[in-house]
Structure 1
């Protein structure tokens, strides 16, 4: 399976992940949402937004990002706000 076949991850984000050395779904799951997001933000796209963070988490959980729990969304929002 290609990363772009995971939920919430299209070809553009697959390319961003590849640029930071994440090329398989297993590598994404092993790295984790926050670490993958930080790599993208620091090395590829300094404007990476909260929606990408939600999308990565949804991909790892194999659910659409809109189905993330409110608790997990709050955790991710808190993580994202600390980056500014």
Structure 2
């Protein structure tokens, strides 16, 4: 499976992930949503938004990002809000 075939990810996000060295779904799962998001934001897209973070989490869980459990969504939001 290619990254762009995962839920919530398309060709654009696949390319961003590949640019930071995350080339497979397994690599994305290993680094986690927050780790992948930080790499994308720090290395190639300083404007990466909360929706990308939710999309990464949904891709890892294989669910639409709208179905991320509220407690996890809050954790992700808190993580995003503490970023500089």
Q: Same fold (TM over 0.5)?
A: yes
Shift of 1:51: 0.2
RMSD over aligned Cα, in angstroms?
A: 0.4
Say whether 1:10 aligns with 2:13.
no
Query: Which structure 1 segments of 5+ residues have no match?
Result: none
Query: Which structure 2 segments of 5+ residues have no match?
Result: none
Q: Counterpart in 1 of 2:32?
A: 32
Q: How many residues align?
A: 84
Q: Output the TM-score relative to the length of structure 1.
A: 0.99
Q: Output the TM-score relative to the length of structure 2.
A: 0.99
Query: After TM superposition, where is structure 1 displaced by more than 3 Å over at least 4 residues in a row?
Result: none
Q: Counterpart in 2 of 1:69?
A: 69
